[in-house]
């Protein structure tokens, strides 16, 4: 029986014994295991991208499903909340993780405090911290992480999954999604509800309340307006839009290709978050050719030059977000310029172009070496 087959059949104890027998001869920290959260969404996708970068650099990558059973290897978590669990902290593995958001003291988000406290309580336990922007870099420093263990690696983009859309792609997407050709379509494709259910409780750091308020103001300026939603747990936004009589569609995108199609169908993409590591939607919308309006959060503050490749608004400023979207609606020349400059920005953040930054992180993470090793 193969080990892959064995993992799916016997109990966890037997699986652990099989994995340890298979890996016992490995040199310490000679393999990388990139681990997500098992949610099948953005965090797991991040783990796949970390593994791909490592392979491009010639580093040996182990199956993520083995990670909890291996000993003395290098385990990198793309969920900061998974990384601080006792089963990882008490393991013999070198640990690293992506610190993508989580300002301590954020109302309604006690997990942010737990993560920061775990860092501050055992800063020496974490060999590598990946952050995406300055605020998170400073936050990791304030927790006691040594500067040489913190690496600023921005979120990247898979350009093959998000090719630039054109008029034909727009027409096909609107036809497929049942959107009126004449409508001004506003896109919001994030998860902004608590949990993995219907999402009736808003995840306020994502700004779903600001999104609704901005769209309501925008409709007064642009009457023929439709909101396109994707992503799980959108119940709060859907209910609020229904109460206000704002036309909208919610589609469950089953792949990144379908998410790309959704970008082609829209006239503007709105990011209304209060805190972010990225978000990924900034580069996705730019790559796809959807003009972007975003709050000054996360990586967006370092990617977006307002008026050139997107438009910026202050956090919680629904009026400014609506005004920016209305400006794009009324100025086709501006919309075209944002599309062109946005695509150029996205191309400079292709995943492969970030490999040199990942090589720096991997080089000091245990004994990981490869074609671009130390």
177 with 206, same domain: the answer is yes
Measure the CA–CA gap between 15 and 1, rounded to whole angstroms.
12
Residue 373 has pLDDT above 60, yes or no: no
Nearest to 259 by CA among 339, 162, 159: 162
Given this model, what pLDDT does residue 294 score?
A: 98
Measure the CA–CA gap between 15 and 90, rounded to whole angstroms.
19
107 with 152, same domain: the answer is yes
Each residue's pLDDT tens digit, 157-183? 999 999 999 999 999 999 999 999 999
Residue 14 has pLDDT above 90, yes or no: no
191 with 290, same domain: the answer is yes
Other Cβ atoms less than 10 A from the Cβ of 374: the count is: 11
What domain count does the chain have? 2
Each residue's pLDDT tens digit, 53-102? 999 999 999 999 999 999 999 999 999 999 999 999 999 999 999 999 88
User: In terms of residue numbers, what domain contains 30?
Assistant: 3-156+352-363
| Residue 57: half-sphere exposure toward Cβ, Cα within 13 Å | 30
Query: Any residues with CB less than 8 A from the CB of 327 and at least 6 apart, and which?
Result: 311, 334
User: What is the mean pLDDT of the segment spanning 121-127?
Assistant: 95
143 with 199, same domain: the answer is no
249 in any annotated domain: yes
Residue 112 has pLDDT above 80, yes or no: yes
162 in any annotated domain: no
Three-state secondary-structure class, residue 1: coil
pTM of the model: 0.91
Given this model, what pLDDT does residue 229 score?
A: 98
Residue 7 has pLDDT above 70, yes or no: no
372 in any annotated domain: no
Each residue's pLDDT tens digit, 235-247? 999 999 999 999 9
152 with 181, same domain: the answer is no
112 with 246, same domain: the answer is no
Long-range contacts of 146-149 (CB under 8 A, 24+ apart): 148/364, 149/364
């Amino acid at each position: 029986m193969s080990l892959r087959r064995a993992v799916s059949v016997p109990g966890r104890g037997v699986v652990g014994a099989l994995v340890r027998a298979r890996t016992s001869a490995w040199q310490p920290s000679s393999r990388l295991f990139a681990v997500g959260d098992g949610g099948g969404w953005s965090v797991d996708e991040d783990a796949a991208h970390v593994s791909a970068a490592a392979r491009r650099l010639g580093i040996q990558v182990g199956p993520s499903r083995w990670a909890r059973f291996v000993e003395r290897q290098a385990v990198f978590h793309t969920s900061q909340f998974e990384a601080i669990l006792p089963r990882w902290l008490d393991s013999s593995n070198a640990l690293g993780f992506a610190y993508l958001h989580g300002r301590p003291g954020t109302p309604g988000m006690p997990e942010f405090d737990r993560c920061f406290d775990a860092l501050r309580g055992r800063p020496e336990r974490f060999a590598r911290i990946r952050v995406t922007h300055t605020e998170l870099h400073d936050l990791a420093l304030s927790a006691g992480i040594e500067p040489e263990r913190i690496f600023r690696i921005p979120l990247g983009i898979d350009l093959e999954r998000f090719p630039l859309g054109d008029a034909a792609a727009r027409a096909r997407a609107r036809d497929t999604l049942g959107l009126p050709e004449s409508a001004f379509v506003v896109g919001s494709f994030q998860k902004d509800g608590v949990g993995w259910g219907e999402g009736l409780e808003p995840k306020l750091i994502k700004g779903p309340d600001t999104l609704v308020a901005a769209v309501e103001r925008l409709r007064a300026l642009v009457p023929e307006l439709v909101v396109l939603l994707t992503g799980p747990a959108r119940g709060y936004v859907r209910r609020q839009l229904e109460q206000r009589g704002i036309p909208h569609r919610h589609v469950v995108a089953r792949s990144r290709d379908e998410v790309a199609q959704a970008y082609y169908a829209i006239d503007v993409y709105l990011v209304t978050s209060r805190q972010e590591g990225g978000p990924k939607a900034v580069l996705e919308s730019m790559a796809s050719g959807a003009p972007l309006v975003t709050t000054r959060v996360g990586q967006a503050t370092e990617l977006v030059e307002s008026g050139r490749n997107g438009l910026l608004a202050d956090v919680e400023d629904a009026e400014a977000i609506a005004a920016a979207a209305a400006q794009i609606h009324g100025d086709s020349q501006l919309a075209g310029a944002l599309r062109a400059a946005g695509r150029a920005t996205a191309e400079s953040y292709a995943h492969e172009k970030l490999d040199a930054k990942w090589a720096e992180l991997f080089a000091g993470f245990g004994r990981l070496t490869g074609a671009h090793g130390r």
